Amino acid sequence: MELRDAPTARLHPEGRAGPVAAPTSVVRTVAEAFLVRLRRRGVDRLFVNSGTDFAPIVEAYARRHESRLDLPDVVVCAHENLAVSMAHGSYLGDGRMQAVVLHTSVGTANAVCAVFNAARSRVPILLAAGRTPLFEHTRLGARDFPIHWAQEMFDQAGMLREFVAWDYELRDGAHVTDVVDRAVDVACTEPGGPVYLTLPREVLAAPMPGTGAPPAPARPAPPHPDPGAVARLADLLATASFPVVVTADAGADAHAVVLLDELSRRFGIAVVEQGPRHVNLPADHPLHAGYSVDAVLGEADVLCVLDLDVPWIPGTAAPRADAVVVQCGPDPHFSRYPVRTHRADLSITTTSTALLAGLSAALGTRAVDPGRADRLAARVSGWRARRERVLADEAERTGPITKTALNAALARVRPPGAVVVNEYWASAELLASTTPGTWFGTPPAGGLGWGLPAALGLQMARPEATVIAAVGDGAYLFANPAACHHAMAMHDLPVLTVVCTNGHWGAVQGSTLRMYPDGHTAGGGALSPLAQLGPVPDFAAYAEASGGLGLRVEQRAQLVPALRQALRSVEHDRRPALVDVRCV
């Protein structure tokens, strides 16, 4: 399997591609020192929704034509959920940590849901929030707006302390470099995640001491598994009759996809992608066992859970009593989850890449049945035949548009290598991605409004890619669509948005029916008022209002032509497009 690195580009604040000029003058203020250090630590983009608290940062960028300082490129965002989720998507696109500017307490409050998503996805983001000025007078940067009293909190960081790996307040400019280094190092140390730094305006405005900044420290090495634990797991896998790896996030590192591909082929190990958030194994791999672990739990005698928080739902399924369950990951028991009691007969703290490399070496010294790969391939391939039947059936069907019909249409027109960012309706099984980095699923926390902004950030990180945001009407509304389409126009981000519009919260209605299959909701025969979204707006108008192409589809026969027209818009005209698909 060949691994191709995703293309990347650096953008100027005004959106032109090209290198940033080398600095020709010294740093004057703490704000400038903060920004220079961010760039020095690999932060290329500053996703900004700022306010009165960031006047020194505004001044630093205004002085850039004179200072020629190398600062992160500014990406203006009209809402904090957009800013944080774009930074999240940007990291998914190129693997580089980015920073977000939040406006004091109120901006932080708007960002909490997106930070929750990033935290559960272990995505490193430096969140730099302004703080209400400390002083009422006498200092440069002291309070000069009435809001500077009402916006102050006793513990601003407390709003998101449970979700960040570290939080701090910059109290003096003399240690701005140390504080930025600390923030970046914590965010990027496995298991990783967002960090939060508050910046008082007076501190940012202060002159920077004339000492030179030290070199950037080396990043910490990722955790490697205990050799004894790897040897034990290798013994279990070598002697198993039906070994299975189940994962959702191993493919966060594309190198792990290559290693898992080779390990599975060479040693005859089946792989299930359970609720995948990445491409963990190409869908056309002979030992790909589908997208539901329930299909193999009855047969698997060794179940290796690879960096997956919920490998099965305890109330509905469980591994065989005589199976061996091995939990592996940077935090194999997900210690930040208050309750998680999934069985573990062996636990290994490691990254997926390190474990797979170690396992390949260890299994290479053990006797493994050479016929196991072919036998397992025959036993786990049934999902492919079912997929082909569904796609063939949908091509012949008529009537209202269903989610299955929408997936079949997208599978038919999806360009090779096109990236799908899914928040609701896209099916990993029906779309069957084969290239690492071309499928991104909803974060574990499920905070709505992530998908479309994340697609924008991913498009920014990979400007040559075709990026498709697959969202439901509820997720689309939560994403602040006017702000998202505004960002597409401002930053030249030709994303294709496909909205599955059915006018209700399917998860709300579905969860009620699962809990009360014989209850009043089930017997009423009508959609609960708590699950209704109607009347649904004209979503195509959001795209058109910012210069994009907006299409509305109500008939099956319109689906494929509309998707092809939208793809031509984003690929050839570099014009964002939205297809509003009215589904049942």
Round the average pLDDT of the chain to a whole number and report it: 92
* Residue 326 within any structural domain of the chain: yes
d(CA 45, CA 201): 21
* Residue 15 within any structural domain of the chain: no
Residues 368-375: what's their mean pLDDT? 96
Same-domain check for residues 250 and 351: yes
pLDDT band at 209 (very low <50, low <70, confident <90, very high): confident
> Is residue 322 packed enough to be buried (19+ CB in 10 Å), middle (13-18) or exposed (0-12)?
exposed
Q: Could you say which of 380, 409, 435 is where a domain stops? A: 380
d(CA 313, CA 202): 51
pLDDT value for 198: 97
Residue with tokens 């998507």: 89
Distances (CA, A) of 423 to 12, 160, 402, 443: 30, 23, 16, 9
pLDDT value for 508: 79
Tokens of residue 34, six digits: 């903060």
Q: For 518-565, what is each residue's pLDDT tens digit?
A: 888 888 777 777 777 778 899 999 999 999 999 999 999 999 999 999
Q: Could you say which of 380, 405, 423 is where a domain stops? A: 380
pLDDT over 70 percentage in the chain:
95
* Residue 246 within any structural domain of the chain: yes
Q: Taking the CA of residue 240 as centre, how many other CA atoms within 13 Å lie in the half-sphere pointing to its CB?
A: 27
Q: Which residues contact 341 (CB under 8 A, 6 or more apart)?
A: 314
Q: What is the DSSP string of 374-404?
A: HHHHHHHTHHHHHHHHHHHHHHH--SS--HH
**How many domains would you assign to the chain?**
3
* Residue 354 within any structural domain of the chain: yes
Distances (CA, A) of 159 to 116, 147, 164: 11, 19, 10
Same-domain check for residues 531 and 422: yes
| From 162-176, 476-490, 517-531, the region with the lowest mean pLDDT | 517-531
Same-domain check for residues 42 and 136: yes
d(CA 69, CA 63): 9
**How many Å is the Cα radius of gyration of the chain?**
25
pLDDT over 90 percentage in the chain:
83
Phi, psi of 473 (to 5 degrees): -65, -35
Helix (H, G, I), strand (E, B) or coil at 524: helix
CATH number of the CATH domain containing 366: 3.40.50.1220
* Residue 25 within any structural domain of the chain: no
Q: Which residues contact 511 (CB under 8 A, 6 or more apart)?
A: none
Q: Which residues contact 472 (CB under 8 A, 6 or more apart)?
A: 423, 424, 425, 499, 500, 501, 502, 506
pTM over 0.85: yes
pLDDT value for 530: 79
Residues 106-124: what's their mean pLDDT? 97
Distances (CA, A) of 185 to 26, 96, 122, 173, 193: 25, 13, 14, 19, 11
Distances (CA, A) of 303 to 286, 345, 576: 18, 10, 44
Same-domain check for residues 468 and 359: no
Same-domain check for residues 554 and 478: yes
Most distant CA atoms of the chain, gap in Å:
80
Same-domain check for residues 567 and 487: yes
Tokens of residue 526, six digits: 């009508």
Same-domain check for residues 397 and 544: yes
Q: For 374-398, what is each residue's pLDDT tens digit?
A: 999 999 999 999 999 999 999 999 9
pLDDT value for 26: 86
Same-domain check for residues 246 and 182: no
Chain Cα centroid distance, residue 187: 15
Q: Could you say which of 347, 365, 380 is where a domain stops? A: 380
* Residue 8 within any structural domain of the chain: no
pLDDT band at 17 (very low <50, low <70, confident <90, very high): very low
Question: Would you say residue 9 has pLDDT above 70?
Answer: no
pLDDT band at 2 (very low <50, low <70, confident <90, very high): very low
* Residue 485 within any structural domain of the chain: yes
* Residue 190 within any structural domain of the chain: yes
CATH number of the CATH domain containing 487: 3.40.50.970
Same-domain check for residues 85 and 185: yes
Same-domain check for residues 310 and 436: no
Same-domain check for residues 237 and 155: no
The residue range of the domain holding 139 is 30-205
Same-domain check for residues 459 and 570: yes
* 93, 457 Cβ separation under 8 angstroms: yes
